Amino acid sequence: MPPVLRHFSDDGETPNHPQLPVVIQHLDDLGDRSDPAGWLEQTFTRHGWTGTWRWGVYPFHHFHTTDHEVLGVFAGNATLQLGGKRGERFEVTRGDVIVLPAGTGHKCLEASPDFQVVGAYPQGDSPDLVRSGEGDLEAARERILQVPLPENDPVHGADGPLIRAWTEP
């Protein structure tokens, strides 16, 4: 299946990225793996997305201004709201990989008790965490524009759908 691409506008509380869309891919074969979380960690790391962690998604609107983020769902399912309070709801389940460009708001609205993701960043940093509606939004917008594009899609490498979505007009 082709990836889902969504672009969200700045809503005055959540800047979102002014140019880059969210990219959502589904991996059909993740369900066949005995250790899907380990596979996601290894795959993300192999493609330069490091600093991996396992957990859920915060239940409040927030974004990161210093890095892009990938979330790979390895267990359960959830309803995430992407793009801030005026964004869009997405049902995610095991095998979904969501790449959030810097500045993109995200929040978990509801989740199954076993919902878990592997997260990582193309620079391997621990990004900042800004709650929507808080902080200096103009400074946040400036930081977001300084975040470099990743060299690789976290799953498919140099010619994956993320790279095409973020570099082709």
Domain harbouring 160, CATH code = 2.60.120.10
Q: What percent of the chain has pLDDT over 90?
A: 93
Say whether pLDDT at 169 is over 90.
no
Q: Mean per-residue pLDDT for 149-168?
A: 96
DSSP state of 85: T
Split at pLDDT 50, 70, 90, the class of 168 is confident
* Distance from C-alpha of 73 to C-alpha of 64, rounded to nearest angstrom: 19
Number of domains in the chain: 1
Contact 116, 37 (CB under 8 A): yes
Q: Which pLDDT band, with edges at 50, 70 and 90, does 50 fall under?
A: very high
pLDDT band at 1 (very low <50, low <70, confident <90, very high): confident
Q: In the chain, where does DSSP find H-type helix? A: 36-46, 137-146, 161-167
Residue 102 is part of which domain span? Answer: 4-167
Q: Residue 42 carries which side chain, given as an amino acid letter?
A: Q
126 pLDDT band, cuts 50/70/90, is confident
